């Protein structure tokens, strides 16, 4: 079970208090009518699914109820940074957890 630091509550809480929100920083189009089928498919269904650092959304469903973003290494499951919705993705390149393999 992950221990996740909620940037709003300012404390680490167990994963079961949170709901997963999938990949972060996927912006909705400003003008949906102008979006092509390819771009809709990319927006709705295609994901980077990286083996490495992933920016993802979590919602503190049984806490403050708010969405925030998280950088996590998907091989070690180590959480590298949490940050509030709307903030830019932090640079954690140097802090990247060592692969276990």
Positions touching other proteins (CB under 8 A) are 1-2, 15-16, 19-20, 22, 37-38, 40-42, 44-51, 54, 56, 72, 74-77
CB of 3 to other proteins, least distance (A): 11
CB of 95 to other proteins, least distance (A): 18
Nearer to other proteins, 12 or 42 (CB): 42
Please provide the distance, in angstroms rounded to a whole number, between the alpha carbons at the two ends of the chain.
Answer: 21
CB of 54 to other proteins, least distance (A): 7
- Is residue 23 within 8 Å of 56, Cβ to Cβ? yes
- Is residue 70 within 8 Å of 4, Cβ to Cβ? yes
Other Cβ atoms closer than 10 A to 80: 18
């Amino acid at each position: 079970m992950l221990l996740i630091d909620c940037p709003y509550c300012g404390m680490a809480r167990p994963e079961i208090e949170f709901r997963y929100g999938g990949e972060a920083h996927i912006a909705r189009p400003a003008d949906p009518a102008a979006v092509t089928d390819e771009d809709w498919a990319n927006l709705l269904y295609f994901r980077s699914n990286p083996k490495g650092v992933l920016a993802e959304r979590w919602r503190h469903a049984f806490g403050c109820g708010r969405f925030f973003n998280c950088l996590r290494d998907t091989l070690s499951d180590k959480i590298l940074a949490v940050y509030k919705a709307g903030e830019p993705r932090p640079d954690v390149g140097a802090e990247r957890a060592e692969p276990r393999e």
